[in-house]
Amino acid sequence: MPFVSIRILEGHTQKRKNEISRRVTEAISEVAELPMDKIWVVIEDVPGSDWFVGGEPTREPKRL
């Protein structure tokens, strides 16, 4: 059973996290030829003060 752990900067909407989970699950299901209900995805929110890019803390997710 695949287990996927995703860490993202806190502040993303639940809608966006649901979409990330759906797409990751579909991709693994297709490539590994496994039913989707056998794939686990966990998304962990990381505060901007604990997420660093280029040695500097990040404050909020980029809006795309």
Residues annotated as catalytic (active site), given as ranges: 2
- Report CA torsion sign: 23, 28, 30, 35: negative
Q: Are 7 and 21 in contact (CB under 8 A)?
A: no
Q: Among candidates 21, 22, 27, which has minimal Cα distance to 5?
A: 21
